[in-house]
Amino acid sequence: MSDEPEAPVAPPTPEPAKADPALQVAATEAVAKAEAAATRRRWINLGEFVAVAGLIIALLGLYLNWSDRREETAEKQIASAKAERESARFELRAVPTTNGKALTLQHDDRHAIRDATVTFPTELGVGSKDTVADQIERGWFERALLKVTDRGPDARSGRLPVLIVLTYWDGDTPRTTRGIYDIGWKTQEGTFPFGRTLKLESLRLHELGGDQKRLDALWAAERPKG
């Protein structure tokens, strides 16, 4: 017998386990399903994006259309209001009669005068007068104005501020306006024994609105001196 030790015997190498064909098929199907699901999710996300983008575009179109209609409506309303104001606007004018005894108020076919009240400066003591036949009559204030100008030259001219409240027709609608107007006048030497005479020459708008206090202030500035 040999005295040499025996070499250790290596354990046998186990054979690799053979894959189960059924498991391989199941794994392959699972991977395919996962990839298909991911693809579907990508298409769903893309579809959702397209749908949202389309909705935004549609809403933007609706807003632009609404904005255009609103702007068009506003422009029409502004134009209509402007046309209505222009139609309702009435500029009071007057022409003197041939002898200067009165000023005849003028109107057009659309704006007939219904009535007018003329208020005079407090100092004259005339008060207010309602027009008859659309006329401002000299006789209302002739004596008072001649008295105010009695100490000056016989021939002189000036302006008498008056407050006129006018009601007129705008088609079938009555409208009222008020303003202070200047009556242009002049005095001249009369024939004996009547003394000086007063002649009315014009009517011009001084300012819109006004009241008795404002009228008296203007008269204080316009009042003939001497």
Residue by residue, pLDDT tens for the chain (226 residues) are: 455 556 566 566 665 555 567 777 777 777 777 777 777 666 666 677 777 788 888 888 888 888 778 877 777 666 665 555 556 678 899 999 999 999 999 987 788 899 999 999 999 999 999 998 899 999 999 999 999 988 778 888 999 999 999 999 988 889 999 999 999 999 987 665 667 899 999 999 999 999 999 999 999 999 987 6
Whole-prediction pTM: 0.64
Q: Looking at residue 213, what is its pLDDT? A: 97
pLDDT given for residue 127 in this prediction: 95
Say if residues 145 and 130 touch (Cβ distance below 8 Å): no
For 126-167, give the secondary structure using H, E and C.
Answer: CCEEECECCEEEHHHCHHHHHHHCCCCCCCEEEEEEEEEEEE
How far is residue 49 from each of residues 23, 38, 57, 151, 198, measured CA to CA in Å? 39, 16, 12, 96, 90
Give me the pLDDT at residue 70, please: 80
